[in-house]
Structure 1
Amino acid sequence: MFTSINIAAYASATSVCDGFYKKLPNVSRVLCQQAQLLPSGAHSVQGRPLLMRDVVPSHTKWRVLVVAAMHGDEFSSASVALHWLALAQSASEATHWRFVPVLNPDGLLRQPARRMNAHGVDLNRNFPTPNWQLETKNYWEKLTRKDPRRWPGKAPLSEPESKFLFDQMASFKPDVIVSIHAPYGVLDFDGPVLPPTKLGRLYLDQVGVFPGSLGNYAGVHNAMPVVTVELPSALRTPTEAEMLKMWLDLRRWMDQTQLARQ
């Protein structure tokens, strides 16, 4: 699946468990190694490979894209993605999973870590929603009072990390996207199907959409269901039992919802 992987990129992937994943809560070296993350061929602003992993069944009923650490200071989101990746590896089901546990490695590795990427852009405001230039300008200047943590950038898809995720949506064509964040402790949803009412202890609370956000772009304007998981803490994961319960609730919702391809 991956082509033109050079020696440097391969070395970065194989040494990932000695690198930034050591910063993640509740992630053992074994869990990290078993993830077998590979470079996608795309890189962050500072040249770090954007890593991913596919779990492919013999027969595919659904395609699910799981993305985490879009904001670099939300450590727990990447940890949960890795725990779910391990569950996907051990499950026998007709789901093609694609995991991107850390979309924003530059923000995560920064000391201290920060929400934005290396250009200071909030990646979750950088997707090409309609009237992006006007709406993101009004949102950032009037509603956030130019909060630097929520700067949408100079243009939609100006950042390599958001462009990578945009390209993944176009090529992988997921039936559902699961976007893991923190720390608001709720479940959000955008899309054309009935949302899950809960994942574990997180209950549905649809807070609306923002200009340039993933939920707005994919869920509202492209009819691609987006389940947004807001964990209660950016620094601590739920218990392993709770992460399993969230995973089972997600799979149960998928089974009960018309996501399957006809």
Structure 2
Amino acid sequence: MGFCKRMAAAAVPLLLAMGAQANERACDEFYARLPNVSWALCQSAQLQPGEGRSVRGRMIYTRDVLPATTRLRVLVIGGMHGDELSSASVALHWIRLAQGSPEQIHWRFIPALNPDGLFDKPARRMNANGVDLNRNFPTPNWERDAAFYWEKRTRKDPRRWPGKTPLSEPESRYLHDEMQRFKPNLIVSIHAPYGVLDFDGPIEPPRRLGRLYLDQVGIFPGSLGNYGGVHKGMPVVTIELPSALLTPRNVEIQRMWADLQKWMGVTLAGVVAEPQGVPLQR
């Protein structure tokens, strides 16, 4: 064996050990904080540090479930609002389900995009700079529309402050860059607590996922659905769980997953993932 091959072989156990340590650190926090998340469930997720960090330098963990051949790429995001604890829990449950899924889908999970908000005591919607990440994406006319909406429609609700500029926050910049790197055919963003299903994008939306029925609530300046689904043509399914603090029962989590798979099989049947690194033609 050549020197380079020996060095590469020697590095594999070290990388595996580092990955296991990162997953254990994540589970120490998630198990203590999230509802309906057992230690075994979190360990099986095999979370890894992504390229992103929060305002306070916390790791933003990810997990890729990658089949031998890929037909679609799907990005699943939880915990964009830190006080919606159930959204991060459901993302972890779905990682387990994705691992047993035979479909040719490359899943990329970001269970807790806003770890500073999630691990605050009490947890809070915004990040450490007080910004609502779901109002910080660069939709057209953001400078005018986001400020107007916040001032006039929310009466300067601090929980919905869009920030000073689009992508001002490291967490939203990370997700924005991840969308460009990963080029998902579908984005699933998990929220709470309105108990509905929302959708933005150029394709036929799902009518229901489990007990959640489609109720398109409109678009907001700077939201992910507005930015990704309306202006970038990346369909965005927004799941609003019924409770921010309690997950649905496990059987309902599985039913939502099954309905998502069924809808994807019908609606995205003719879609083929383009090679990463090649710009999408829109």
Give the TM-score of the pair, scaled to structure 1: 0.95
3-state SS of paired residue (2:36): coil
Change (3 A) 1:218 1:100: same
Which amino acid is 1:255 matched to?
A: G
CA apart distance, 1:151? 0.2
1:144-168 CA distances to partner (integer Å, 9 max, x unpaired)?
0000000000100000000010011
CA distance in 1, matches of 2:118, 2:134: 15
Structure 2 match to 1:95: 105
3-state SS of paired residue (2:150): helix
CA distance in 2, matches of 1:21, 1:38: 16
Q: Tell me, which stretches of 5 or more residues in structure 2 are unaligned? A: 1-14, 274-282
CA distance in 2, matches of 1:75, 1:97: 21
Q: Tell me, which stretches of 5 or more residues in structure 1 are unaligned? A: none
Structure 2 match to 1:148: 158
CA apart distance, 1:93? 1.2
Which amino acid is 2:84 matched to?
A: E
Question: Residue 243 of structure 1 is aligned with which of 237, 242, 253?
Answer: 253
CA distance in 2, matches of 1:187, 1:68: 15
Does the alignment pair 1:233 with 2:236? no
Write out aligned runs for 1:111-260 (5 A). 111-258=121-268, 260=271
- Verify the 8 A CA contact 2:30 2:42 in the aligned structure 1: no
Which amino acid is 2:164 matched to?
A: K
3-state SS of paired residue (1:251): helix
Between 42-51 and 15-24, report the one with greater CA deviation: 15-24
CA distance in 2, matches of 1:120, 1:242: 33
CA distance in 2, matches of 1:20, 1:119: 22
* Number of aligned positions between the proteins: 257
3-state SS of paired residue (1:15): helix
- Verify the 8 A CA contact 2:194 2:242 in the aligned structure 1: yes
The share of aligned pairs that are identical, in percent, is: 65
CA distance in 2, matches of 1:38, 1:18: 14
Which amino acid is 1:205 matched to?
A: D
Give the TM-score of the pair, scaled to structure 2: 0.88
Larger Rg: 2
CA distance in 2, matches of 1:153, 1:21: 31
1:50-92 CA distances to partner (integer Å, 9 max, x unpaired)?
1000000011111000000100000000010000110001111
- Verify the 8 A CA contact 2:22 2:47 in the aligned structure 1: no
Runs of 4+ in 1 over 6 A off after TM superposition: 7-10
1:27-59 CA distances to partner (integer Å, 9 max, x unpaired)?
000000010000012200000011000000011
Does the alignment pair 1:261 with 2:272? yes
